Structure 1
Amino acid sequence: MTDQEPVELPRGVALAWGVAANPQRGPKREMSVESIVEAAVEIADAEGLGAVSMAAVAKKLGFTPMSLYRYVSAKDDLLLLMQEEGTGLPSGAHREVDGWREKLRVLFREQVGIYVRHPWLLSIPITGSPVTPNSSAWIDEGLAALDGTPLLPEERMAAVLAVTGQARWNGIVLSGYAETARSSGRSDAEVAAQEQAFYEAVITAEAYPHLRAVVDAGVFTSPYDPFGWGFERTLDGIEAYIAGLDRGEPHRLGDDWAAPDDLDVAEDKRYRAAAKASAEARKALLQAEKALRQARKAQRQALAEARERMARGAR
């Protein structure tokens, strides 16, 4: 296996990682990528994402739009950097609690809070995985919470995506309700009461018997949190799946899972033992591959340092 050639990062991603070339001309002292992004975030927080433009940011900073393009060459790059700034880093509070479940719960709540504080993040189109430092940190912390479980790497990533996906959906609804309350001048309770009244007015037992029963139960004005309930049941499912792996049940990776045609075979002790041994072998293989990558990285670093020392000695 040979090392891959270095890839050329998109300009926005390179800026996020701090490895993009700096502009050679322009108002260097008064302007920076950081100041541009901060100004754009302030505009988005105050007026929404639609108010953000290169011209608006330039005006806020007291420069011409062309000055900005020396630092951030495209609107899409600016949006990526705004997303990175708005997302921020995990607080680290999840590290203070015990167990993967509680750690994921803390990360979930923090992510929901981010969307409530910066609802414009939800308006940025999803064009792929944001390979940026802060976004990567959130994924890494979620994966770290699951470290020590028997989940395969694919399963850990799927669990982390389930957490982030539910946090985003929760954020969409909470942000929408908050904006409705703000624009109407009503409290959250008043908005909920009006919603309940609307349903009571149009939902009949004849046309929608089950929904009408929920309306009559006062669900829309109930203090319970449906999103928190759904998230906890997701954690229940992950916990039950992990318990099954501990009992020797096979991993299930969607269509790729080679389940026996005869479901009774899955209860056979020898089959379960073989499935568990297979899972443990794969886990050991993944750990060995990780160790190999780390050793190769250390080897490359040692080689570079040795060459540097030889070059200094030759001078």
Structure 2
Amino acid sequence: MDDKIELLPPGTALAWGYTPAPRRGPKPGYSLEQIVDAAIAQADAEGYAALSMPSIAKRLGITANALYRYLSSKEELLVLVAESAWGPPPESPSGDWRVAVTVWARTLLERSRRHPWLIDLPVRNAPTTPNLLGWLENFLEAMADTGLSTRDVMGCTVLVDGWVRSTAALLRDIDAGAPERTLALSEFLEPRLQERGYSRVATVISGEAYSEEGIDDSDIEFGLGRILDGIEALIARR
């Protein structure tokens, strides 16, 4: 088995607790968990761009070369960081697939808002690590009694996951904007839109839907609700 470890996607074996043979040199001063925690703290403070081996090594007080004694590549680090930051899935409520999927999506969105850089991490393959596979298991369990095929359920998983990621990106970008700038833009555009005859757009940007408060919970729930309506219609057709 050990001779096939190198064929696995980066970070997979480490995430499952596989311990490679120790390398020559001084005894490691950090655990892998400490390095991952430092990387998450670095990204929380400075964003995805700060997830570089030199910046994390500097945070730990070691050289970048020393960091490679623990990890063979940045790709391994990103996989382990994603596994830790997304964390385990929520407990799935039983009996109602719609409630369970709602909890799943809300929890995933909450994790992405806690660590906004998570949605910038590249997704190069299907999940291979314990927590991320736990999220998939959780979704599959929620949909187990709907009568949908595995192919359909996997399509639903991709759909809801995509909604979470796009919503998280939108919320992050809006949160990063200054509220006073949004208000100034609204005041600037409203009379000019009226002059152009764009009365409906002018009404929207001068009202609550285009306020300095940005997107609220009802906006979020609306989008998720329509996706769940679509899945419910699919279940009825099947």
Q: TM-score, normalised by structure 2?
A: 0.85
Cα gap change, 1:125 to 1:216, in 2 (>3 Å):
same
Give the structure 1 partner of residue 138 of structure 2: 141
Structure 2 residue matching 1:30: 3-state secondary structure:
coil
Alpha-carbon distance between aligned partners in 1 of 2:236 and 2:165, rounded to the nearest angstrom: 28
Structure 2 letter corresponding to 1:126 = V
User: Do the aligned residues in 1 keep the contact of 2:11 with 2:77 (CA within 8 Å)?
Assistant: yes
Is 2:151 the partner of 1:154? yes
Question: Shift of the alpha carbon at 1:137?
Answer: 1.0
Give secondary structure in 1 for the equivalent of 2:18. Answer: coil
Assess if the C-alpha contact under 8 Å between 1:27 and 1:67 holds in 2.
no
Residue in 2 that maps onto 1:38:
37
Listed as ranges, the matches of 1:67-216 within 5 Å are 67-92=66-91, 94-95=92-93, 98-181=95-178, 193-194=183-184, 196-197=186-187, 199-200=189-190, 203-204=193-194, 206=196, 208=198, 210-216=200-206
Partner Cα distance (2:31, 2:73) in 1: 15
CA distance in 2, matches of 1:212, 1:176: 23
Range 226-235 or range 212-221, more displaced: 212-221
Whichever residue aligns with residue 22 of structure 2, its letter is P
Residues 20-57 of structure 1 show CA distances to partners (whole Å, capped at 9, x for unaligned) of 51433345452222111111111111111212221222
Deviations along 1:239-293, one digit per CA (max 9) or x if unpaired, are 1221222xxxxxxxxxxxxxxxxxxxxxxxxxxxxxxxxxxxxxxxxxxxxxxxx
**Partner-residue secondary structure (3-state), 2:71:** coil
Name the CA distance, whole Å, in 2 between partners of 1:80 and 1:198: 45
**Identity level (%):** 36
Distance 2:217 2:25 in 1: 55
Structure with greater contact order relative to length (CA < 8 Å, sep ≥ 6): 2
The 5 Å alignment of 1:41-52 reads: 41-52=40-51
Letter in 1 for 2:71: V
CA displacement 1:175-222 (0-9 Å, x = unmatched)? 2222335xxxx5xxx565445435425544746454334335431128
Say which of 215, 235, 238 aligns to 1:242. 235
Counterpart CA distance in 2 for 1:205 and 1:226 is 29
Q: Secondary structure at the match of 1:11?
A: coil
The 8 Å contact of residues 41 and 82 in structure 1, kept in 2 or not, is answered as yes
Aligned-partner Cα distance in 2 for 1:121–1:132: 15
Q: Which amino acid aligns with 1:166?
A: W
Deviations 1:156-187 (Å, cap 9, x if unpaired)? 11111111111111111112222335xxxx5x
User: Gapped runs of 5+ residues in structure 2?
Assistant: none
Matched AA of 2:109: V
**Structure 1 CA distance for aligned equivalents of residues 145 and 32 of structure 2:** 39
Cα contact 1:16–1:84 (8 A) shared by 2: yes
**Partner AA of 1:240 in structure 2:** A
Of structures 1 and 2, the larger Rg is shown by 1
2:60 corresponding residue in structure 1: 61
* Gap change, CA 1:29 and 1:224, over 3 Å in 2: closer
Q: 1:59 to 1:238 in 2, by over 3 A?
A: same
Distance in 1 (CA, whole Å) between partners of 2:226 and 2:138 is 21
Q: Which runs of 5+ in 1 are unaligned?
A: 1-5, 246-315
CA contact (8 A) 1:17 1:133 kept: yes
Query: Aligned-pair RMSD on alpha carbons?
Result: 2.5
What is the match of residue 267 of structure 1? Answer: none
| Kept after mapping to 2: 8 A contact 1:84/1:132 | yes
Deviation digits for residues 110-160 of structure 1, max 9, x if unmatched? 111111110111222232323222111111101110011110000011111
Aligned length in residues: 231
Determine helix, strand or coil for the equivalent of 1:164.
helix
TM-score under structure 1 normalisation? 0.66
Deviation at 1:224, TM superposition (A): 6.2
Q: Deviations over 1:69-120 (max 9, x none)?
A: 121111122112111111111132x33x640000000111111111111011
